[in-house]
Amino acid sequence: MDYIKRVERVALAVEDLGEAQRFFEQWFGAKFCPEENIEDMGIRYRPIDIGESKMELLQATRDDSPVAKFIKKNGGPGVHHITYQVDDLDAAIAELERRGGRIAYRHTYQPGVTFEGQYWREAFIHPKDAFGVLIHLAEKKPASEPPTSNLKPQNPDS
């Protein structure tokens, strides 16, 4: 079963969202979607369209944010994660686990919370299991189709 649809985006952890935005606009002609906040994770993010590719800039809003921890651990900004889009997150996790993989963290947002006009359900593979890269599996559904899930949020530090 091929459960990965495509590379959906690459996310960069940055210390200054405005500075990073100016860089990508000036050097690459990036087009930015509206900034959004993920309150429960302490993250501001700004999706970017560059040609036919997508990226996102992540900035911490508090010291216990995964982005703040990443920047501190790595001594500065850098590639935070790569997102692979899947059609069915539960099926993708089951297939990954069947192949011997393991999920480090799963997250389902509160009912009604959307990003970029879509409901997101997500799971992460720890960098220790993926050659130093945090891999993000994401299922996105239009806001007109409320998500269904048996995933329970987990603490990202567990």
CATH number where 87 lies: 3.10.180.10
What pLDDT was estimated at residue 151? 44
| Structural domains of the chain, count | 1
Is residue 88 domain-resident? yes
Query: Cα separation of 101 and 97, whole Å?
Result: 5
Name the least confident of 14-18, 96-100, 103-107, 121-125. Answer: 103-107
pLDDT over threshold 90, residue 44? yes
Judge whether 152 lies within some domain: no
- pLDDT at position 153: 44
- Give pLDDT tens digits for 60-97: 999 999 999 999 999 999 999 999 999 999 999 999 99
Residue 66, C-beta contacts closer than 8 angstroms, at least 6 positions apart: 41, 42, 43, 156
17 falls within a domain: yes
Is the residue at 153 inside a domain? no
What are 50's strand-pairing partners?
53
The pLDDT of residue 113 is: 67
Alpha-carbon distance of 115 to 36, in angstroms, equals: 7
Residue 114 within a domain? yes
Asked, for residue 13, whether it belongs to a domain, the answer is yes
Query: Average pLDDT of the chain?
Result: 87
- Give the range of the structural domain holding residue 41, as residue numbers without chain letter: 6-142
Look at residue 1 and tell me if it is in a domain: no
| Residue 154 in this model has a pLDDT that exceeds 50 | no
With cut-offs at 50, 70 and 90, classify the pLDDT of residue 146. Answer: low
